[in-house]
Amino acid sequence: MHKIPIITKMNIEHKRTPLMVLGTSSGAGKTLIATAICRYLKRKGEQPIPFKGQNMSNNAWVDTQGREMAYSQALQSWSAGLEPTAEMNPVLLKPKGDCTSEVIHLGKSVGTSKAINYYEDWFDSGWEAIKKGLEVLLNSQQHGRLILEGAGSPVEVNLQHKDLTNLKLAKFLNANCILVADIERGGVFAQIIGTIALMKPEEKKLIKGIIINRFRGDKALFETGVKWIEKETGIPVLGILPWLKEIFPPEDSLDLLERKQINQSAEIEIAIIKLPRISNFSDLDPFFHDSSIQMRWIEPGQSLGKPDVLIIPGSKQTIKDLVTLNNTGLSNQIKDYAKKGGNIFGICGGLQMLGTSLEDNQKKESLNEQGIFSGGGLNLLPIKTTFGEIKKTSQREESVSWPDSQKVKGFEMHYGDSDLINNKNSDIISLFRNSSLGWVIEKEDKSFIGGTYLHGIFENDEWRRQWLNKIRQKKGLNHLKIIEENNIYKRESLLDLLTDAFEKNINLDKLI
């Protein structure tokens, strides 16, 4: 097991009282509220420092040192005007299915744990990773203010004594805590009262304010509710945040199907396979803000239909998800779609699935602990994937050769390596000039089948435009003109919209 030196006394001093965002449940809105607070404080002239001690997500980012962290903390970092670093999310659990997760400490994979054994095996080393992350961040930003995000509910009584990232952390840092309740789910009064009732007296004292999230309608109708909550809890309601129609990045795959997008003027339909163990779905964010595109999620067992392009995204367990596609008949639908001139693009695990074979002698992706998988993929690209012991994680800047020559940026995060085999197809193109990061076959009918290991490739605006133009050309549509509003600008605009709504409706003056 990976060992982190025990920190008996932290060599840090936080000059500004940390703020912590807790929720009455998972999905209450902690992530986006913490993100808004980061941008709000930045506007006030402070330097916020986002921090989530432990996160569980397969939607990850790789920092400049090649270390993994949750994408949500990267988003909060951009909102705070900082470069994302793994110290902002020192413990990351990446679910593999079957109640098993890969354990990441300070950006590096340190092992795998069954849920039933996690607290016994990983609590102490996880707490040391959290303290180390805090020490690095506060020493680098000595005048900054920590913006802490909790996880799930802070009062899961069966787990509370081993909770790394909620009230234990709040007490350790003496943080001013904000409790967020999602009124959209219903039962908001019970959420708030029940959560506070399960806290110890010293924990309840840390709760300095309550935010009602996702309110629809006239807020004046809830004034009596606010007064009742304040009377019963003795804690002020800081404000009511309305339901925001803008599309913001989901934190985990549970939010994906709720992420509706209806573009009446859409000219292209992009279908995405919602793999059971989907990962890094933030790769697709640039498409959700494009009015010319309609996105459609396809779960195994559903009909593929006739989209203009099919994307197979990343997977935390490529082989298991490939077997699911086979067992539900979706593999055959994908192959038929390809034969009929469909466009297909795979990212990371999706690229691996498109190949002819996948070998897992190291048992990184096997169907069970004893088995070793050596089987076929969708056989749409002449590549062979072999899973090894070492995970590749790094940011990359590469020269791409298709659809046009240019520079692109992104990051790698994968175990398997893929190579061309028995290449009799002269039409296959290496996407990148200097590395085996992806390939594409462009057919006579102008359709293509390809993929890449480079996460974030669609955030490269010019490359994305050229890629979409390939699809538009086959459909007989005019080419898109040069994209003037780039993806980073769009992300910044969304963060500002979120913060504008927060600033209008929430009063943090007493806490800062």
Residues 468 and 501 in one domain: no
Residue-wise pLDDT tens digits, 197-254:
999 999 999 999 999 999 998 999 999 999 999 999 999 999 999 988 655 665 554 4
Confidence (pLDDT) at 183: 95
Q: Which two tokens stand for residue 152?
A: 């799930």
Confidence (pLDDT) at 3: 47
In terms of Cβ atoms closer than 10 Å to its own Cβ (0-12, 13-18, 19+), residue 220 is exposed
Confidence (pLDDT) at 436: 87
Average pLDDT over residues 6-27: 78
Q: Is the pLDDT of residue 10 over 80?
A: no
Confidence (pLDDT) at 196: 98
Kindly report the number of other CB atoms within 10 A of residue 391's CB atom: 17
Token pair 């008996």 is found at 8
| Catalytic residue (one of 14, 105, 414, 455) | 455
Q: Which residues contact 398 (CB under 8 A, 6 or more apart)?
A: 407, 408, 409, 410, 432, 433, 434, 435, 437, 454
Confidence (pLDDT) at 474: 93
Q: Which residues contact 459 (CB under 8 A, 6 or more apart)?
A: 285, 286, 409, 410, 487, 488
Quick check: 211 and 179 in contact, CB under 8 A?
yes
Q: Pick the range with the lowest mean pLDDT from 139-148, 187-196, 421-430.
A: 421-430
Residues 231 and 317 in one domain: no
Q: Pick the range with the lowest mean pLDDT from 49-63, 157-171, 203-217, 461-475.
A: 157-171
Output the domain CATH number for residue 298. Answer: 3.40.50.880
Can you tell me whether residue 194 is helix, strand or coil? helix
Kindly report the number of other CB atoms within 10 A of residue 486's CB atom: 15
Q: Which of 414, 428, 348 is nearest to 380 (CA)?
A: 428
| Catalytic residue (one of 14, 105, 177, 348) | 348
| Percent of the chain with pLDDT strictly greater than 70 | 90
Residues 219 and 338 in one domain: no
Q: Which residues contact 128 (CB under 8 A, 6 or more apart)?
A: 4, 5, 6, 7
| C-alpha span between 234 and 228 (Å, rounded) | 10
Q: Is residue 355 part of a domain?
A: yes
Residues 201 and 113 in one domain: yes
Q: Is residue 272 part of a domain?
A: yes
Residues 459 and 364 in one domain: yes
Q: Is the pLDDT of residue 151 over 70?
A: yes
Q: Is residue 444 part of a domain?
A: yes
- pLDDT: is 250 or 346 the higher one? 346
Q: Is residue 12 part of a domain?
A: no
Supply the DSSP string of 290-355, one letter for each residue: -TTEEEEEE-TTS-----SEEEE-EESSHHHHHHHHHHHTHHHHHHHHHHTT--EEEETHHHHHHS
Indicate if 348 belongs to the active site: yes
Output the domain CATH number for residue 176. Answer: 3.40.50.300
Residue-wise pLDDT tens digits, 281-327:
899 989 987 889 999 999 999 999 999 999 999 999 999 999 999 99
Residues 422 and 303 in one domain: yes
369 pLDDT band (50/70/90 cuts)?
low
- pLDDT: is 493 or 98 the higher one? 493
Average pLDDT over residues 177-205: 96
pTM confidence score: 0.91
Confidence (pLDDT) at 254: 45
Average pLDDT, the chain: 90
Q: Is the pLDDT of residue 400 over 80?
A: yes
Residues 52 and 102 in one domain: yes
Residues 228 and 272 in one domain: no
Residues 229 and 288 in one domain: no
Quick check: 404 and 410 in contact, CB under 8 A?
no
Supply the DSSP string of 137-190, one letter for each residue: HHHHSTT-EEEEE--S-TT-TTTGGG-SSSHHHHHHHTPEEEEEEEGGGS-HHH
Residues 34 and 80 in one domain: yes
In terms of Cβ atoms closer than 10 Å to its own Cβ (0-12, 13-18, 19+), residue 409 is middle
Confidence (pLDDT) at 288: 83
Confidence (pLDDT) at 4: 45
Q: 117: domain range?
A: 19-247+493-505
Q: Is the pLDDT of residue 133 over 70?
A: yes
Q: Is residue 324 part of a domain?
A: yes
Can you tell me whether residue 441 is helix, strand or coil? strand
Confidence (pLDDT) at 250: 58
Can you tell me whether residue 84 is helix, strand or coil? coil
Confidence (pLDDT) at 279: 93
H or E segment and range at residue 286:
helix 285-288
Confidence (pLDDT) at 485: 65
In terms of Cβ atoms closer than 10 Å to its own Cβ (0-12, 13-18, 19+), residue 136 is middle
| C-alpha span between 266 and 293 (Å, rounded) | 5
| Beta strand 268-273 pairing with 309-312 | parallel
Confidence (pLDDT) at 6: 44
Supply the DSSP string of 23-78, one letter for each residue: ESSTTSSHHHHHHHHHHHHHHTT--EEEE-SEEE-S-EEE-TTS-EEEHHHHHHHH
Residue-wise pLDDT tens digits, 241-290:
998 865 566 555 445 545 556 677 899 999 999 999 999 989 998 998 78
Quick check: 64 and 83 in contact, CB under 8 A?
yes
Q: Pick the range with the lowest mean pLDDT from 236-240, 352-356, 363-367, 373-377.
A: 363-367
How many folded domains does the chain comprise? 2
Average pLDDT over residues 87-113: 94
Residues 57 and 105 in one domain: yes
Confidence (pLDDT) at 246: 59
Phi, psi dihedrals of residue 216, rounded to the nearest 5°: -110, 140
Q: Is residue 369 part of a domain?
A: yes
Q: Is residue 287 part of a domain?
A: yes
Indicate if 99 belongs to the active site: no
Q: Which two tokens stand for residue 391?
A: 């995970």
Residues 232 and 318 in one domain: no
Average pLDDT over residues 405-425: 88
Q: Is residue 110 part of a domain?
A: yes
